[in-house]
Structure 1
Amino acid sequence: MTLDNTNNTVTEQSTEQSNGWSIARILRQDFLPVLTDLRLAIALLLIIALFSITGTVIEQGQSLDFYQANYPEHPALFGFLSWKVILTLGLDHVYRTWWFLALLIFFGTSLTACTFTRQLPALKAARRWKFYDQPRQFTKLALSAELDNGSVDSLKQILKNRSYKVFQETDKTNILYARKGIIGRIGPIIVHIGIVVILLGSIWGAMTGFMAQEMVASGNTFQVKNIIDAGPWAATRIPKDWSVRVNRFWIDYTPSGSIDQFYSDLSVLNNQNQEVDHKKIFVNQPLRYRGVTFYQTDWGIAAVRVRVNQSPVFQIPMALLNTNGNSRIWGTWIPTKPDLSEGVSLLAKDLQGTVLIYDAAGQLFNTLRTGMSTQINGVKLTVLDVVGSTGLQIKADPGIPIVYTGFALLMLGVVMSYFSHSQIWALQIDGRLYVGGKTNRAQVAFEQEMLGILDSLSQEQTNEEKVIATS
Structure 2
Amino acid sequence: MPIWRRLLAWLSDLRLAIGLLLVIAATSAIGTLIPQREASEAYHQLYDRKPWLGVVTGDWILKLELDHVYASSWFLALLALLGLSLVLCSWRRQWPALRAALRWVDYPSPRQLSKLSLAETIASADPGTDLKNLQQLLLAKGWQLHPADGRLAARKGVLGRVGPLLVHAGLVVLMVGSAWGALAGQRLERYLAPGRDLELLNSRGDNQLSVALERFAIDRDSVGRPEQFRSQLKLLDSTGVLRKEIEISVNHPLRFRGMTVYQADWSLAAITVQLGRSPLLQFPLRALPELGEQVWGLAVPTRPDGTEPILLTLSSEQGPVEIYGANAQAIGRLTPGGDPIDINGLSLRVVDVMPASGLLLKKDPGVPLVYGGFAIALAGGALSLVATRQLWSIADPDRHQLHVGGLCNRNLTALARELPALLAEIRQLRSPSSGNAKKSEQPQTA
- 1:158 and 2:137 are equivalent in the alignment: yes
The alpha-carbon deviation at position 441 of structure 1 amounts to 1.1
Q: Distance in 1 between matches of 2:176 and 2:249?
A: 32
1:61 aligns with 37
| Aligned equivalent of 2:120 | 145
Maintained 8 Å contact 1:212/1:224:
no
Q: Which segments of 5 or more consecutive residues in structure 1 lack a partner in the other structure?
A: 1-21, 226-234
Q: Which residue of 1 aligns with 2:444?
A: none
State the distance in 2 between where 1:242 and 1:410 align.
Answer: 36
Partner residue, 1:279: 246
1:408 aligns to 2:375 (yes or no): yes
Q: How does 1:281-300 map to 2 (within 5 A)?
A: 281-300=248-267
Give the direction of change, closer, same or farther, for the CA distance of 1:324–1:198 in structure 2 (3 Å limit).
same
1:393 partner amino acid: L
Rounded to whole Å, the distance in 2 between the matches of 1:189 and 1:55 is 30
Match of residue 351 from structure 1: 317
The one-letter amino acid paired with 1:49 is: A
Partner of 1:255: 222
Where 2:387 maps in the other structure, the secondary structure is: coil
2:443 aligns to what? none
**Quick one: structure 1 residues 85 and 359, their matched pair in 2 at CA, closer, same or farther if it must change by over 3 Å?**
closer
Question: Structure 2: how far apart are the matches of 1:265 and 1:76?
Answer: 40
Preserved contact between residue 323 and residue 333 of structure 2 (Cα < 8 Å): yes
Could you tell me how far 1:152 is from its partner in structure 2? 0.8
1:317-332 equivalences under 5 Å are 317-323=284-290, 325=292, 327-332=293-298
For the pair 1:221 / 2:197, whether they are aligned, the reply is yes
Q: CA deviation at 1:468?
A: 8.7
The equivalent residue for 1:339 is 305
Contact 1:214 1:224 in 2 (8 A): no
| SS of corresponding position for 2:251 | coil
- Is the deviation greater in 80-89 or in 49-58? 80-89
Task: Say if 2:173 and 2:369, in contact at 8 Å, map to a contact too.
Answer: yes
Q: Which residue of 2 aligns with 1:48?
A: 24
TM superposition shift of 1:255: 2.1
Q: Which amino acid aligns with 1:177?
A: A
**Distance of 1:425 and 1:362 partners within structure 2:** 92
Residue matched to 2:402: 433
Check the 8 A contact 1:187/1:416 in 2, yes or no: yes
| Change beyond 3 A, Cα 1:135–1:361 | closer
Matched, 1:465 2:434: yes
Identity %: 39
CA contact (8 A) 1:306 1:385 kept: yes
Distance 2:33 2:295 in 1: 28
Q: What residue number does 1:34 align with?
A: 10
Kindly provide the amino acid, as one letter, of the partner of residue 453 in structure 1: L
CA contact (8 A) 1:296 1:391 kept: yes
1:396 alignment partner AA = K
Structure-1-length-normalised TM-score: 0.84
Please say if residues 200 and 209 of structure 2, whose CA atoms lie closer than 8 Å, have aligned partners that are also in contact. Answer: no
Q: 2:80 matched to 1:111?
A: no
In structure 1, what is the Cα distance between the partners aligned to 2:435 and 2:413? Answer: 33
Deviation larger for 421-430 or 212-221: 212-221
After superposing the two structures, state which structure 1 stretch, 204-213 or 373-382, moved more. 373-382
Structure 1 range deviating more: 403-412 or 255-264 = 255-264
Name the structure, 1 or 2, with higher relative contact order (CA <8 Å, separation 6+): 2
TM-score normalised by length of structure 2: 0.88
Q: Give yes or no for contact 1:223–1:239 (8 Å, CA) kept in 2.
A: no
**C-alpha separation between the residues in 1 aligned to 2:113 and 2:210?**
74
- Pick from 305, 321, 334 the counterpart of residue 368 of structure 1: 334
Deviations 1:142-191 (A, max 9, x none): 2212222142111112222332111114xx2x111111001111111111
Contact 2:261 2:359 in 1 (8 A): yes
Q: 1:168 aligns with which of 119, 126, 147?
A: 147
Pairing 1:197-212 to 2, within 5 Å after superposition: 197-212=173-188
Moved over 6 A (4+): none
| C-alpha distance 467-432 of structure 1, shift in aligned 2 (>3 A) | closer
Aligned Cα root-mean-square deviation (Å) = 2.7
Could you report, residue by residue, the CA deviation over 1:86-108 in whole angstroms, capped at 9, with x for unpaired residues?
Answer: 22211111111122111111111
1 or 2, which has the higher helix percentage? 1
Question: CA distance change for structure 1 residues 291 and 91 in 2, over 3 Å: closer, same or farther?
Answer: same
Distance 1:456 1:259 in 2: 70
Q: State the secondary structure of the residue aligned to 1:95.
A: helix
CA contact (8 A) 2:428 2:435 kept: no
Is this contact kept in 1: 2:249–2:263, CA < 8 A?
yes
Alpha-carbon distance between aligned partners in 1 of 2:279 and 2:53, rounded to the nearest angstrom = 58
> CA contact under 8 A between 2:408 and 2:415: conserved in structure 1?
yes
